A and B are shown apart, each in its own frame.
Chain A
Amino acid sequence: MTRASEPKVDFALALAHGLTPDEWTSILSILGRPPSFSELGIFSVMWSEHCSYKSSKKYLRRLPSRAEHVLQGPGENAGCVSIGDGLAVVFKIESHNHPSFIEPRQGAATGVGGILRDIFTMGARPIASLDSLRFGPLEDPKHRYLLDGVVEGIGGYGNSVGVATVGGETTFHECYRGNIVVNAFNLGLVREEGLFLAKAAGLGNPVLYVGSKTGRDGIHGASLLASAEFDDSSQAKRPTVQVGDPFTEKCLIEACLEAMATGGIVGIQDMGAAGLTCSSFEMASNAGTGIELDLDRVPQRETNMTPYELLLSESQERMLLVAAAGQESRLAEIFHRWGLEAVVVGRVTDDGRMRIRFHGKHVVDIPVDPVAKSSPELDRPVREPADLRERQKLDLPSLAPEADLPGALAALLDSPNLGSKAWIYRQYDQLVQGNTVLGPGGDAALVRVKLEDGTPTQKGLALAVDCNPRWCWLDPYAGTLAAVAEAARNVACTGARPLALTNCLNFGNPEKPEIMWEFAEATRGLADAASALATPVVSGNVSFYNENSGRAIHPTPTIAVVGLLEPWERHATSFFSAPGRAIVLLGRTREELGGSEWLALRRGLEAGHPPAVDLDHERRLAGLLHAAVAAGLVTSAHDVARGGLAVALAQCAIAGATRIGAEVALADGIRPDALLFGESTGRVIATSARAEELVAMARAAGVPALRIGTTGGARLRIGPPAGAAWIDAALVDLHAIWSRALPRRLEAA
């Protein structure tokens, strides 16, 4: 075999690998010698921002992650939370922003594949996916192409593996023109005793490689693509994007779950970012052991692969598992039956070192912990952006009032941010596994829990993902509070009790003090909100370097909350469920237009303070919704968010399978545009057949509640208590505008 000669390892090559001078010095002191080329590759990926969290560790440590029901917090492949009766859910959200911008279809597809593996690695069967997507303006043909490709990628992968995509969010903003955001969430179901961890325990136990063969794709995806910002030459990084094969993933899910059920697996880890390297180091480090690997045994689909390539490849649909001694052939038989590779590639050792052989020679011999655990931790400088006060300036009295209230509602419903997202979610299988009670298009999805043997249960899981990046740009602390509050409120709108959350923190270049300040403020908000709402942070992901040519995206801390509803049959829908019901507004409307969609769309301004968040109120509101739905007092509940009360009422009326109108009277007192389009937090539009009881229950719970109207008819009429209506529109017209918002922009292309 002709083996390409390896480059000479020196300081310059280390810098080209993205390592810093300090890190190079650390490597020399850890090894007591210069690293081999393969070793340099290992350090560069393990210490990359993407794998080591070196800029964010300090802040992530402050997040609340403990609670009685939390079985596994951050640090594993995903978080795990008990849902009672011996059952648990495993969930996480993760970014795939840079690959999706370079190659939208494969980038998004492998994002879904990666998050699925994080879930079934832990022994859980993936049952529901969400996604949170951010693009530039749709007027830009590139972003129509990106949206089309990302949606096709998510659908193409998720549909093929047989996991329902039950919800998500998609918004558009100029700040994502050079760097889109693609965050994929998945949740799986596991029996508590069936939880698997990434541990290479048991001296002498065999290490098995299972799944697909290894190729040259995705080398340095984690270090060079995910841990650096974009510029004009970024398209050249296309080869660092992996290629996904959902069919193999589907077989891998079934084979892994079957193999896990045999009891022959000690530990298991997926080969995601930094492939074989990251998975083996993490497993050894978690167990306090070492591993000896023989690269010649790694199944390969290309010839003449070097050790460097084998170690750093991010080829998809591969797992590393440690079997109990003697179980290897029994396990391999299962994987072979599913048409997958299964090869013993090494053994667990007890000396805390990673020894990797290739053609009989050791190409890697380094201590595990200094690479995996003692990776660098940075305390990067933080500085409040110089223009922050300027951003937050908004003089409401001098702001011209909205002269055309019906026109403003129509414009908002027609905007890509608020229009129907059916064009997107119709491309996703929302139903497979047969548990989707509430699918995409509402506040939260609701998924019934069925046992592995098919026995249905009374448990339902409510899932929602949210973030308002504009608010986070105006005030990252308040914006993140609002993101957690909104996701929890959306879950509560179904009647479920929020249990825990996962987060994907998408930010710019952490080397800039202003970005680091945004990050520090956002994580402070996340910690405060998660504590106040008793939704511990059980898993998460940080994505830095979301910049292009020096311009960062808005801070985008995506929050996904998971809630439990039992029995699930008793739930509320987000749209009006029947005519003749009283409409009750829960929460208080303030004169707040800062950071609103109305302000951006109708005044071209992104300014002001985002609406205030009252976490105590949010907690009471969530408790009230849970109790009121359980008592049968609430049949529909919809969160008031982007676009304010008028948009929320319109969504209630037109989003269901049957359109149901409403007549609504809102107390005067604040300017009508703020009343209709202001985005005060902590509000929910509830409908009830027993409004007096609901209002009494709300007052007892300390939640403001006001009867504002009645459902019915084919029009939406909103006005003051006396006098002419502000808005009086036929539902058929509102629906036409709202449902065409995306298609009319995408099909015109």
Chain B
Amino acid sequence: MFAVVQFPGSNDDRDARFALKSVLGAAAELVWHQRAELPAGTQAVLLPGGFSYGDYLRCGAMAKYSPIMAAVNRFAQAGGPVLGVCNGFQVLCEAGLLPGVLVRNHHLHFVCAFVHVRVERAVPIFTSRARVGQVLRLPIKHGEGAYCVPPEQLDELERSGQIVLRYCEPDGSVTPAANPNGAVANIAGVRNARGNVMGLMPHPEHAVEPAIGGTDGLVILGSLVDAALRRGVGA
């Protein structure tokens, strides 16, 4: 079962549930942020996009204090898969579950557009349905999506293969022009060292139907469903 956390101000919570449930056929439910525990039988957690707490103070800064985040933290420490999309990515960074931070786009505007990202790693939980080098067309919609880490940490991320997605041209080449927000090294998605927590700025849940945004989002969400099912069987 997928737990899609609902913070006040979450916007893509229902869309994430729709993608998991109606499109991928996985069990998924919205989980209110005031709950102290994840529902029994939770196999994976998804922190959705939106503007938790209005993004006041700093994106994700308030959400990390919601009671449910302690449970998400424990779940992640125990090796449970956690995916953060957009605002969810920001929350995971604020909560220290992922390295780095997301800062204001370099052009200072909110941007909603379809972009291309290259899959850098075919990792078990999040990109098992992808092949390395595959280019996905996914939408972004954010004002504060420029991923940022200090140079030495960036080297570490590169070395340990934690960079999962990079903004690229349609042909897969990673260029400055393909970078929509000023992220370091065109980073669109990263995972933690252990490999069970990932955050990404593009919205896979908005690319799950052929005539509405295409289906490239299923590569990521489908990988997660596969992982959750495997975990469910093992548990």
Contacts and interface: CB of A to CB of B under 8 A. Distances in A.
Interface of A: 152, 155-156, 159-162, 245-248, 250-251, 337-339, 425-437, 448, 450, 454-456, 569, 657
B64 interface: no
Nearest to A440: B112
A657 B170 CA distance: 12
Query: Which of A155, A247, A436, A657 counts the most chain B CB atoms within 10 A?
Result: A247
Contacts of A569: 211
Given A250-B51, A338-B8, A431 B21 contact: no
B203 interface: yes
B112 A247 contact: no
Interface string B89-132: 00000000000000000000111111000000000000000000
Q: Which 9 A-B pairs have the closest CB atoms?
A: A247-B54, A162-B11, A434-B15, A160-B51, A429-B141, A431-B206, A454-B18, A427-B110, A155-B110
Contacts of B166: none
Nearest to A454: B18
A586 B111 CA distance: 37
B212 interface: yes
A455 B141 CA distance: 24
A247 B8 contact: yes
Contacts of A433: 14-15
Contacts of A437: 211-212
Interface in B171-230: 203, 205-206, 208-209, 211-213
B22 interface: yes
Contacts of B22: 454-456
A432 B139 CA distance: 11
Contact of A159 (B34, B141, B209, B213): B141
Nearest to A162: B11
Nearest to B206: A431
Contacts of A426: 109, 111-113
B8 A429 contact: no
A312 to B, nearest CB: 27
A456 B50 CA distance: 22
24 contacts: A152-B110, A159-B112, A159-B141, A160-B51, A245-B54, A246-B54, A251-B8, A251-B9, A425-B112, A426-B113, A427-B109, A427-B110, A428-B112, A429-B112, A431-B139, A431-B206, A432-B12, A432-B206, A433-B14, A434-B213, A448-B212, A450-B18, A454-B17, A569-B211
A155 B139 CA distance: 17
A448 B18 CA distance: 14
B206 A434 contact: yes
Interface centre among B50, B114, B212 (most CB of A within 10 A): B212
A431 B141 contact: yes
Nearest to B212: A437
Contacts of B75: none
Interface in B139-184: 139, 141, 143
Contacts of A429: 11, 110, 112, 141
A247 B53 contact: yes
B112 A434 contact: no
A227 B125 CA distance: 60
B37 interface: no
A439 to B, nearest CB: 9
A431 B213 contact: yes
Contacts of B141: 159, 429-432
Contacts of B19: 434
Contacts of A245: 54
A152 B143 CA distance: 11
A432 B15 contact: yes
A162 B9 CA distance: 8
B24 to A, nearest CB: 13
Most buried by A among B14, B21, B113, B209: B14
A427 B15 contact: no
Nearest to B8: A251
Interface in B44-59: 50-51, 53-56
A431 B203 contact: yes
A429 B109 CA distance: 12
Given A250-B9, A251-B8, A432-B141, A162 B50 contact: yes
Contacts of A338: 8
Contacts of B53: 247
Given A432-B15, A433-B15, A434-B212, A246 B8 contact: no
Contacts of A430: 112, 141
A339 B139 CA distance: 31
Contacts of B17: 454
